[in-house]
Structure 1
């Protein structure tokens, strides 16, 4: 199974790294599928829980969080928006991708929803899968992959080396 995870110790570092890697690989002509955080969007909440993602390879950009008001401390993820993003990825050019990237294995994936089916489809197509995994989701990700994922250092060179070793 060609699946790897990356976790940055810096808040927001995994998102930034995966977006940077996606941009670099696309500039080199690689075909990508999945999602990365859109850094062109300035969220309105200081905790960073106001997110738009770019569906690879060429968009669209979509908001995956909902506005619950400034005082809310509930999870802002919008399951409907995530389902739409998943549908966009799965109906896109997944079969032609050189790499599948998921910016974050989060609560939806930990519950067996979200991008789990897209990850499975990429694996069935023998496409390498790169997933951002936060500390809170490491156990769920390990359960999801049966412990078969490779943990990669949060560095561009390490990701490129893993991809080179796992390219179809």
Structure 2
């Protein structure tokens, strides 16, 4: 099993690194499946706006519940997250090289979201790289059963791991 967790206590780098890794793998001619957080919200958008980009070619799915312009908090749309996981599972039926997921978060910790999709990717013997949320670290560790390698929040380390598990040469 080739499973790696990308953790960043400050929380800011993982989304960007996962997005950059997906784009790099596509440029290398590889087929990543999974989901990464789309770029930052557009100017004027609510700060809670979250979108996932289903890899490699899938839709962008909004994950936030629009609570209105006066809302002070953010709320995840769990149904949208489940739709994103279902879209990803459909892509796992096709040839793929690696599975990427921007975050093993609260939904996954509770047995929902992408938890089953991660297991399916591992069953298909795909290398799996997962961003792990600060508050979900213990749940991820229990899920992984001690078999996950932890990578530093460094793009060079992430690319080195990807090269190793995919047999890519260093360019």
Tell me the TM-score normalised to structure 2 length: 0.88
1:27 is matched with 27
Deviations 1:13-55 (A, max 9, x none): 1000110111111101010100011106327344xx3201110
Contact between 1:101 and 1:130, CA under 8 Å: does it hold in 2? Answer: yes
Using the TM superposition, give the Cα deviation of residue 6 of structure 1 relative to its aligned residue in structure 2, in angstroms.
Answer: 0.5
Matched, 1:44 2:82: no
2:111 maps to 112
- Greater shift, 1-10 or 111-120, is seen at 1-10
Residues 113-153 of structure 1 deviation map (CA, whole Å, 9 limit, x = unaligned)? 10011101100110000001121111111011112111001
Given that residues 5 and 149 in structure 1 are in contact (C-alpha distance below 8 angstroms), is that contact kept between their aligned partners in structure 2?
yes
In the alignment, is the contact (CA less than 8 A) between 2:58 and 2:87 conserved in 1? no
CA distance in 1, matches of 2:139, 2:155: 25
Aligned residues: 165
Match of 1:164 in 2: 163
Q: In the TM superposition, what whole-angstrom CA distance separates every residue of 1:90-123 from its partner, at most 9, and x where no partner exists?
A: 1124541111001011111000110011101100
Q: Residue 135 of structure 2 aligns with which residue?
A: 136
Instruction: Give the 3-state SS of the residue equivalent to 2:99 in structure 1.
Output: strand
Kindly indicate whether the alpha-carbon contact (under 8 Å) linking 1:94 and 1:122 is maintained by their aligned counterparts in 2: no
5+ residue gaps, structure 2, are: none
| 8 Å CA contact 2:11, 2:134 repeated in 1 | no
Separation in 2, partners of 1:28, 1:10: 29
Across the aligned residues of Structure 1 and Structure 2, the Cα RMSD in angstroms comes to: 1.8
Q: For 1:148 and 1:18, locate their aligned partners in 2 and report how far apart those are by CA, in whole Å.
A: 20
Q: What is the SS of the residue equivalent to 2:143?
A: helix
Q: Which moved more, 1:26-35 or 1:75-84?
A: 75-84
State the alpha-carbon separation in 1 of the partners of residues 60 and 20 from structure 2. 16
